[in-house]
């Protein structure tokens, strides 16, 4: 099969012909039909996450068709469409796993990082960490649901019952979260890079009530802010934008250092928290919700062998919505 392989962080992916993977008991084999390009992939490729010391096939927003199963009683049938997310395996026995926080498992393995990912024609996955996808979405539309959607959903839940929500960094996750928040009767205030008119127009088209540069103050105090851009300086900016008792949610796996700021900006019970990975319960809840909503998924397709181009477009901010790799 063809796979796009990261041999060394900081270098381009290399198109490589590899043996077809074979599932063992507990695994399923998928023919990949679409794989989203996530900012976490970019952090892995650019060396902003710890290197693993071996080649990596990135990609964890995977939609594919089951080709084979390693067990006769697998939960998915051959020919069934399945999604594979970032969380690919947990130990199941530690305190985090047994208390409903498997996303924090110290032994967790992640798709497209520890486990081979979806920048390939085929992929194997643990059958316990795969999910059915709502029929209303095409393969290309469904791919960003597997991380941009899931992480956006978890970040929104971390914001509690906030009605006025600011989103810093308006890309794949933000455009899905905005539609969910609006369906729940919330109001979205979108912050983009100063002067990024394309991103601002995109946010308006998704229904944001107010749109402005990240250095701007919103017209009224926010109940919560969710930061998707990996820019630490946005944390104090978001703190200044929220009301007393409000929450700032950091939605990325990597962020540049947060600069110091006066305690006064945090005082009055404001909260800063991060979102780490996802749980299988998140996936079940989100896919059930997505099946009921007419989400508009903004995507831009690239052939698999142009994965480096897709990553470059994401890195430069040239994308509105999600980049999707399509194997031939």
129-144 exposure pattern, b = at least 16 Cβ within 10 A, e = fewer: bbbebbeebebbbbbb
Write down the domain spans for the chain: 2-147+278-326, 150-274
Q: What are phi and psi of 263, to 5 degrees?
A: -55, -30
Determine the 3-state secondary structure of 216 from DSSP: coil
Strands annotated E in 78-186 = 81-84, 87-89, 109-110, 122-126, 131-132, 164-168
State the greatest distance between any 2 C-alpha atoms of the chain, in Å, as a whole number.
60
Taking the model in full, what pTM does it have? 0.94
| pLDDT above 90 for 320 | no
pLDDT at position 66 over 80: yes
What's the confidence (pLDDT) of residue 261?
97
> Which pLDDT band holds residue 5 (cuts at 50, 70, 90)?
very high
Written as six digits, the tokens of 81 are: 């469409």
pLDDT band at 23 (very low <50, low <70, confident <90, very high): very high
Instruction: Say whether 150-274 and 2-147+278-326 share the same fold.
Output: no
Q: Which residues pair with 247 in a beta bridge?
A: 224, 271
- 67-113 pLDDT, tens digit per residue, is 999 998 999 999 999 999 999 999 999 999 999 999 999 999 999 99
User: Mean pLDDT for the chain?
Assistant: 96
Instruction: Write down the pLDDT at residue 328.
Output: 77
- Fold classification of 2-147+278-326 (topology level): Quinone Oxidoreductase; Chain A, domain 1 (3.90.180)
Q: What percentage of the chain exceeds 90 in pLDDT?
A: 95
Residue 63 confidence (pLDDT):
98
3-state secondary structure of 91: coil
Do the beta carbons of residue 51 and residue 70 sit within 8 Å?
A: no
Q: How sure is the predictor about 48, in pLDDT bands with cuts at 50, 70 and 90?
A: very high
Q: Does 25 have pLDDT greater than 90?
A: yes
What is the reported pLDDT for 3? 98
Q: Residue 325: what pLDDT? A: 98
**Residues 246-291 pLDDT 10s:** 999 999 999 999 999 999 999 999 999 999 999 999 999 999 999 9
Pairing state between β 299-303 and 322-326: parallel
Number of H helices, E strands in the chain: 10, 17
CATH classification code of 150-274: 3.40.50.720
């Amino acid at each position: 099969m063809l796979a796009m392989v990261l041999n060394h962080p900081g270098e381009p992916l290399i198109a490589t012909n590899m043996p077809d993977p074979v599932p063992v008991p507990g695994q399923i084999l998928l023919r990949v039909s679409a794989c989203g390009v996530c900012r976490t992939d970019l952090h892995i490729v650019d060396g902003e996450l710890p290197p693993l010391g071996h080649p990596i096939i990135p990609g964890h927003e995977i939609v594919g068709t089951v080709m084979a199963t390693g067990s006769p009683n697998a939960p998915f049938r051959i020919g069934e469409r399945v999604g594979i997310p970032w969380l690919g395996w947990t130990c199941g026995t530690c305190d985090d796993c047994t208390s409903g926080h498997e996303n924090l498992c110290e032994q967790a393995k992640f798709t497209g990082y520890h486990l081979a990912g979806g920048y390939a024609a085929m992929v194997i996955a643990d059958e316990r960490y795969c999910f059915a996808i709502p029929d209303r979405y095409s393969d290309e539309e469904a791919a960003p649901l597997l991380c941009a959607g899931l992480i956006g959903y978890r970040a929104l839940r971390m914001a509690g019952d906030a009605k006025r929500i600011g989103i810093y960094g308006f890309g794949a996750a933000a455009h899905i979260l905005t539609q969910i928040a609006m369906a729940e009767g919330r109001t979205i205030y979108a912050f983009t890079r100063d002067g990024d008119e394309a991103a601002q127009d995109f946010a308006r088209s998704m229904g944001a009530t107010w749109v402005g540069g990240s250095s701007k103050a919103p017209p009224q105090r926010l109940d919560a802010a969710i930061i998707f851009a990996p820019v630490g300086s946005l944390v104090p900016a978001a703190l200044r934008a929220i009301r007393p008792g409000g929450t700032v949610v950091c939605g990325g796996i990597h962020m540049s250092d947060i600069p110091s700021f006066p305690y006064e900006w945090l005082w009055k019970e404001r909260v800063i928290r991060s979102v780490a990975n996802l749980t299988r319960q998140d996936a079940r809840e989100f896919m059930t919700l997505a099946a009921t909503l007419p989400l508009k998924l903004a995507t831009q397709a690239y052939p698999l062998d142009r994965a480096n181009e897709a990553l470059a477009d994401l890195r430069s901010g040239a994308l509105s919505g999600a980049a999707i790799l399509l194997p031939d």
